[in-house]
Amino acid sequence: MKIGIFGINFGICADPDRLSDVAELAEELGFDSLWTGEHVVLPDPQAAPSPAPPLTPMLHPSTALAYAAATTDDILLATGITLIAQRNPLVLAKEMASLDVLCGGRLILGVGAGYLKQEFDALGIPFEERGRRTDEYIEVLREMWSSDAPKFDGEFVRFSSIQSRPRPIRGRNLPIVGGGMSAAAYQRAVASCHGWYGFAMDLETTSESLEAIARLEETVARPAWLGDLEITVTPRETPTIEDLEAYQVLGVDRLVLMLPQRSLSAVTHFMERMAEALIVD
C-alpha cells in the first residue's frame, strides 16, 4: 500500500518554511506522495458545501508543488484535485508540463469538475458546464502533450497551427487521476484517466464506489495504453493498520492521509506515528 499525505498547500503548510519542512520530512519518512487541495476562492461567509472558512490560506497547487519539488528528490507531487473546468486548458497544459519538467517527472495531475457554485459564479464559468468542460479539457491536455501538430475542435476549445513547449517528461503518460464520487466522475476515470481519487471516504463508501467503478469497467471502453485504473483514497478518519488491510482487500492502491491543522508539532507527530504504523520499508 502506498501512503501519501494531503494538505501540503494550505493551513499550516501555506507558510513556506513549514511547507518545505513537512515535504522534506515526508520524503525522509518514506511517504509516497504529497497532495494539494484547490479552491481559487471560498464563499464568505462559509456556506455548505464549502470545505473551509473563507480566510483559510491556500497556495496555488502548482506553485506549492514547485516549491516542494525544490526541497525534495523522489517523493511524488500530486494535485488533489485541480479544478480543471475553471481553467483555460492551454494555459493549464503549459503550467503542468512546466511543473513536471521542474520536478523531474514526479507529477500526478488529479483533476475534477468542482462542486462550489459560488466559485464558478465568481469566475464567470457556467456551473452546469463543468462536467463537459472537464471531459473536453482532459483531451486538450493530452493533445498538447503528445501531438506533433496540435489541433482541436470541441465544444469549448478550438485551435490549430500552434505549438507549446516544454512537454511533460512522460508526454501523454503523465498520470491523470479523476476525482469525484458521482456517476459521471466514475465514468470519466474509467474512460480517460490513469486513476481514480475518492476524498473523505470510509470503508463503506469506498466499497460502494469501487463496486460502481467495477460495473462501468464492464461496459465503458478504456484505452489499453492507460493500463489498470489505480485507486487512491483519502480516508475521512485516520486509519489503523487493520483499516489499511481492509482498504487493500477492497482494491485500494494508495491512501492519502489528511494532515492535522492544529500546529506544526501536531503535523510532525502525526506523520512520524503514521509512518511507523503504516509504511513498510
**pLDDT value of residue 280:** 80
**Cell (9 digits) for 209:** 464506489
For 9-65, write each residue's pLDDT tens digit.
999 999 999 999 999 999 999 999 999 999 999 999 999 999 999 999 999 999 999
Q: Three-state DSSP class for 143?
A: helix
For 187-236, write each residue's pLDDT tens digit.
999 999 999 999 999 999 999 999 999 999 999 999 999 999 999 999 99
Q: Structurally, what CATH architecture does the domain formed by 2-278 represent?
A: Alpha-Beta Barrel (3.20)
Residue 103 in this model has a pLDDT that exceeds 80: yes
Can you give the residue ranges of every domain in the chain?
2-278
Are 191 and 222 contacting, i.e. CB atoms less than 8 angstroms apart? yes
Strand 230-235 with 158-159, pairing = unpaired
Cell 470519466 identifies what position?
Answer: 188
Cell 465544444 identifies what position?
Answer: 155
Q: How many other C-beta atoms lie within 10 A of the C-beta of residue 168?
A: 23
**pLDDT value of residue 93:** 98
Contacts of 128 (CB under 8 A, 6+ apart): none
Burial (CB count <10 Å: 0-12, 13-18, 19+), residue 221: exposed
For 236-280, write each residue's pLDDT tens digit.
999 999 999 999 999 999 999 999 998 999 999 999 999 999 998
For 118-170, write each residue's pLDDT tens digit.
999 999 999 999 999 999 999 999 999 999 999 999 999 999 999 999 999 99
Q: How many other C-beta atoms lie within 10 A of the C-beta of residue 14?
A: 16
